[in-house]
A and B are shown apart, each in its own frame.
Chain A
Amino acid sequence: MSAARAAGILLAKELRVEFRTRELLSATIVFALVVVVLFSFAFDPTAAESRRYGPGLLWISFLFAGSLMLNPSFARERTNDTMDALRMAPISPFAILSAKMLANFIFMSLVEVVLVPVFSVLYNVSLSGIVCRLVLVLALGTVGLTVAGTVFSAISSHARLRELLLPLLLLPILTPLLIGAVEATASLFVDQPELDRTWLALLAGFDIVFLTASWLLCDYLIEE
């Protein structure tokens, strides 16, 4: 079976498992919302202030939500030892990993699709005219977040205290991504929005480095 087809089947399986209950998605959305609301107590949410802190707030809530949401990605497979079944199937390890990455990308994007409009309403930041560029920034940032997050979720699923360990491994690694995403978003939240290409290049660079590394190292991640 070709790797792409295997990945497609596994992706369908991931989506089916999640959409049967939607528990992971709904919990993550609520969590991200809680973070966004809590920030309104940490600083004065007027329009001017929101433009200054808004991008950081948005990305911090995505990073926190992501680092919690990615936990079950591999831990789920341990409950019924389904990981062993996947490993025994005649498919490449990268097919397994990339299916998980894609599924997590879709879940995270859905969280963002809900959260960004809510953020724009609550913090009085207008999105008109910048939607396409914002989607580009969100997509590049989310690719990096889910690629690194899925890899580390595979690592932390074997460890004790895995719920705590994943954010610990993931968040410091994501520093460049956070800076790039926040600065790119900030360049859109001004009066004359103009997307800063430097930060887009940084985000794309991060994505490429992490995708390549996870492609090279996936054999070691999936094996037992």
Chain B
Amino acid sequence: MKARYASTIAVAVLIFFAGYAALFIAPDEKTMHAIQRIFYFHLPSWIAMFTALSVVFVANIAYLATRRSKWDSLGVSAAELAVVCCTIGLATGPLWAKPVWGIWWTWDARLTTTFILWLLYISYLLLRGLLDDPEKKAVFSAVFGIFAFLDAPLVYVSNRLWRTQHPQPVILGGNNSGLDPMIGKVLLLCVIAVMGLMILVLLDRYRLEQLRQEFDELRLEQEALALEPSSIGRERS
């Protein structure tokens, strides 16, 4: 319990400093000015999303290989988190694009891919809600999760071949790319803060899912016990 409080406080402090650094310490961007500061939360939320998606994929495979319910819990927790991060990314993107590109949205490879991923993982969560049997829910959602993850590169390649407008990667993107060292430091702080927050939420969500599964099992047992005497009685009479 103590560790949880400590980590929550640590992440809260990190988030505070990251926000402060992004707004006041990071240098002003030459052409985009203040609006560019949204980048300090836009990029980290994408990094967090791709991390969460990889966790979902690994958890799905691990579940099918081992059939341990903890992997299923981890899968659904990470999938929910990925949808949240994706929503943040999809919301901050247009806010940034409108003043800079002059449009809210464009059907570019990266935007389209993330939009499709968002839809796919919402479908993943919907599928879980529509399957009643806990075992089937775990197996089938794991299979769907693997297919969805495999689909992502195909969606990206197909859109890339088709049309693209999103800027080339600024970081590690070639000779002319690169960031001001100060921007790099602030960005690193923001990535650490957002990742810290995501890990914290993921762990809590995982614990909640485990409790929920335990509760469901107990309830099923209880129902089975409650049914038994009456059904035996009916047979005898």
Give me the interface of A with B, judged by CB distance under 8 Å: 148, 151-152, 155-156, 158-162, 165, 168-169, 172-173, 175-176, 179-180, 183, 198-199, 202, 205-206, 209-210, 213, 217, 220-221, 223-224
Contact = CB atoms under 8 A, between A and B. Distances in A.
Contacts of B139: 220, 223
Contacts of B161: 198-199, 202
Interface of B: 64, 112, 116, 119-120, 123, 126-127, 130-133, 136, 139-140, 142-144, 146-148, 150-151, 154-155, 157-159, 161-162
Q: Is the interface of A mostly helix, strand, loop or mixed?
A: helix
Contacts of A175: 112, 116, 151, 155, 158
A176 B130 contact: no
The 3 closest A-B pairs by CB, nearest first: A176-B158, A176-B154, A159-B130
Contact of B146 (A161, A179, A217): A217
B158 A169 contact: no
25 contacts: A151-B143, A151-B147, A152-B147, A155-B127, A155-B140, A158-B131, A160-B132, A165-B130, A168-B123, A172-B123, A173-B147, A173-B148, A173-B151, A175-B151, A175-B158, A176-B154, A179-B158, A198-B161, A202-B158, A209-B150, A209-B154, A210-B150, A217-B64, A221-B140, A224-B136
Contacts, number: 81
Main secondary structure of the interface of B (DSSP, over half): helix
B143 A155 contact: yes
Contacts of B148: 173
